[in-house]
Amino acid sequence: MQVKKSWLERAFYAVTYELCAISLLMLLATLLLKQDTAQIGVLALMMTSVAMSWNIVFNSLFERWERRRGWARTPALRVVHALLFEGGLVILLVPLAAWWLQISYWQAFLLDIGFFLFFLPYTFVFNWLYDGLRASLLRRLSRARAGLA
């Protein structure tokens, strides 16, 4: 049974996703980079804010460009979309990380790659757990309603 997600649930999902990611990133980055936890936490918040803002701006511009050209969202166009999006993030986030942590651009670039490699499995595992917990909760609610009826 697929239950449509409300805006409230989508907001809950997004906030939970980001808070868990920032917490894990702060822990890992603090251990691996030997940086102050607060400094890494602030960087994670800044990077998350930039990434969410870039997502909104980039996708609106890309979709406008896509509509003007009359293109369909083919697998090849999805690859172009992903590469342009991630490339834009690198351009925005590497200087930010270099400035905030007072490291070289090369070190900041490697850090950005590390964040990317973190988010691939993190997103998979988070969504798997979230979907499983959500399905379990919906089953419980359905049984509770059936018992009350």
pLDDT value at residue 33: 78
pLDDT value at residue 2: 58
Q: Please report, in tens digits, the pLDDT of each residue of the chain (149 residues total).
A: 556 778 888 888 888 988 898 888 888 888 887 778 888 888 888 988 898 889 888 888 988 998 899 988 788 888 888 889 889 999 999 999 999 999 999 999 998 888 888 888 998 899 899 989 998 998 998 888 887 75
pLDDT value at residue 140: 92
Q: pTM of the entire structure?
A: 0.69
Question: Which residues 6+ apart lie within 8 Å of 87 measured at CB?
Answer: none
